[in-house]
Structure 1
Amino acid sequence: MKVNPHGTRMGERFIKKIIDHAVGEQTEQIYVTVFEQHEALITLFRRYGFEQIGTKTSNNGIELVLAKNIHANYLGMYSGYPLVKLGQNKAYILSLYPQWHTRLLPDSILRNETNDIVEDTSSANSIHKVYLTKMHGVDALRQGDILAIYRTSDGQGPAHYRSVVTSIGVVEEYRHLDSFASAEEFFRYCRPYSVFTRHELEDLWRRRNYPFVFKFMYNLSFKRKVTRAVMIEELGLPGTEQYWGFFEISHGQLRAIANKGEADESLIID
């Protein structure tokens, strides 16, 4: 891989694509060779679980050989990526409007969407995402909690059939808007990973109408989107009595949704 750095975190997107391809091909190990002077790239690979297993000598010099085992012992959410660890962590349904969903999760677009709307931006490319909301209950999120990302209806039909779960993410951190000491700290935290422009973030900071801020990792994208109808009628999730913006689900329901979405279930571990 060769990436010309231009501030949009394209390196992370390459790593995600490589790992996704390996998972799809049921390949257990990935390796890459890299020259020692490329320190930033090596740091990036190491963060997501690549470890040096040797060196390679060629006419161009000596390269490090870095490898990652997809199902290696889970040591943490970063090195273990894309594994999703249940453990004592809670699982939730989290809704995103279509316009935010597509810009934030480019590998989870629907068949009726075009890749032309996926932009080369840091929020689209990065494995990490920042989301701002005012939905009740979101302040309960803690590091390690699991999110089933629910794309709300596009208005082209009944929400029962048009609203779908498309992917799974893992919470890195929850913060309240008041926890930021200044507007500049808030901008630095949000700008690389959120869909909002600097101007929009300035407006959100001033109006303070979206006080819940959390960062999550984009771990699994479903092959088949799971409709609200399937979740209610086949998997036992609550119906119209439940507000579908944000609510807790069981680990069993999360696994059932992932199964319906044809995700690799070996990536969800106890």
Structure 2
Amino acid sequence: MIEPKIYFIPFSEIDLNDPFFDSLRKDYLDFEQWFTKKSKAPQEKAFVTYNQEKRIEGFMYLKREEMPVGDVEPPINFSGKLLKIGTFKVNGHGTKFAEQFIFIMFSQAIKNNYDKIYVTVYANKQEGLTKRLQLFGFTTYGEKNGETVLIKNLQYDNSQSHYFNYPLIQANRFFLLAIYPQWHTSLFPQSKLKTEKNHKHLDLTSSNSITKIYIAFYPYELKTGDAAIIYRTSEDNKSARYCSVVTSLCIVEEVKYKYDFKDVEALLEYCKGRSVFSDSDIHGFWKKNTLIIIKLLYITNFPKKPTRQNLLENNIINKEPIRCYPISKQHAMWILEQAELPTTHYIQN
């Protein structure tokens, strides 16, 4: 199975004649004119993904919007920075490419200190995309030429769900959560190590999804709302001190146990599209009574990945193997700083 990839490339390298753009031509009379103008500007780029036939499957264009935005009713005007999703379309074939684009969009917003994001959609034509955006905190703001205007406010709202607040999190408890190498990169493709050049995803759907399900067999203390820093263990025959690394930040959305499911079929349905484990794997897991099923929201990858040796040197962990290891908020913040992550942008007090 070919590893999915989203490219950030100039408009001039994108084929305007690809059938993918037919619906956009129909919905926007000036689409070709707009696209051609962007193609003549080398600095103008978009996020694009392709299928195995080299046809476009997804497209997203982002830009900073100057305020006030007067062609929206009511006009948008505030003192912060506004990110506009200029064009966003994803073909739907059962995968969750839309969430991969949403992940990139939020990463760009956080990296560049945006306060709000807005997009216009034909809600009746783009029902699936609209619902997914609403799940991740976009709310109806107004109207523009027959389209619905949705806005995402990048401020944490205690009255809302983890999905709604994504990618911002509030957490009182922090854990290192160990993931074995054979599962890690297929579950967290954005956190792939540079040494994994030959790795191929085991499952397209779970790789693209922001929601991840991991199954383990230990009495973990994890609860909904805990922050999980993903700890990728080392491969066999490699030094754990230097090959075990922390790679990613997640928040625990839900924790379930074997007794929460009436049978293995119910567990299979729960994991569908969210886990790297095969049906055969899960049937095997079902035989164990210590089953724990962890639903995570993947927040971000780490630009730099501190090693087990770094954690030992700073007394964050001891020499025992890590499965689900509680750490203080102070130590968690240290890890995120060493990972070169803008912690105050993701972690809300």
TM-score with structure 1 length normalisation? 0.89
Q: 2:260 corresponds to which letter in structure 1?
A: S
What letter is aligned with 1:219?
A: I
**In structure 2, do the counterparts of structure 1 residues 115 and 41 end up closer, same or farther at CA, with 3 Å as the change threshold?**
farther
Q: 1:15 matched to which residue of 2?
A: 102
Cα distance in 2, alignment partners of residues 10 and 201 from structure 1:
25
Aligned to 2:337: 259
Equivalent residues in 2 for 1:148-187, closer than 5 Å: 148-155=229-236, 157-187=238-268
Counterpart in the other structure of 1:28: 115
The answer to whether residue 325 in structure 2 is matched with residue 237 in structure 1 is no
The one-character-per-residue Cα deviations of 1:228-247 (angstroms, maximum 9, x if unpaired) are: 1111213x21331x331221
* Maintained 8 Å contact 1:259/1:265: yes
Quick check: 1:156–1:162 contact (8 Å CA) kept in 2?
no
Q: Is the 8 A contact 1:85 1:268 kept in 2?
A: yes
CA contact (8 A) 1:204 1:210 kept: no
Q: Does 2:178 match 1:95?
A: yes
Q: State the shift of 1:116 in Å.
A: 6.1
Q: Separation in 2 of the partners of 1:84 and 1:222?
A: 16
Q: Aligned residue for 1:79?
A: 164
Percent identity, aligned pairs only, is 35
Q: Find the counterpart in structure 2 of residue 63 from structure 1.
A: 147
Larger C-alpha radius of gyration, 1 or 2? 2
Residue 269, structure 1, aligned to residue 322, structure 2: no
Superposition deviation, residue 100 in structure 1: 0.6
Could you tell me which residue of structure 2 aligns to residue 110 of structure 1? Answer: 193
Higher relative contact order (CA 8 A, sep 6+): 1
1:41 aligns with 2:126: no
Moved more, 99-108 or 155-164: 155-164
Distance 1:121 1:167, change over 3 A: same
Whether 1:217 aligns to 2:302 is: no
Moved over 4 A (4+): none
- Which letter does structure 1 place at the counterpart of 2:189? P
TM norm structure 2: 0.70
Choose from 248, 251, 254 the match for 2:326. 248
- What code does the residue aligned with 2:324 have? F
In the alignment, the residues of structure 1 paired with residue 110 and residue 200 of structure 2 have an alpha-carbon distance, to the nearest angstrom, of 26
Kept in 1: contact 2:203–2:276 (CA 8 A): no
Amino acid in structure 2 at the alignment position of 1:249: I
Query: What is the Cα-based RMSD across aligned positions, in Å?
Result: 1.9
**Secondary structure of residue in 2 paired with 1:225:** coil
Which blocks of at least 5 consecutive residues in structure 1 are unaligned? none
Cα deviations across residues 157-177 of structure 1 (Å, max 9, x unaligned)?
421111110111111111111
Instruction: Name the counterpart of 1:203.
Output: 284
Q: CA deviation at 1:252?
A: 0.8
Distance in 2, Cα, partners of 1:204 & 1:191: 15
Cα distance change on mapping 1:259 and 1:23 into 2, 3 Å: same
In structure 1, what is the equivalent of residue 62 of structure 2? none
C-alpha separation between the residues in 1 aligned to 2:113 and 2:197?
27
Q: How far is the alpha carbon of 1:145 from its aligned partner?
A: 0.9
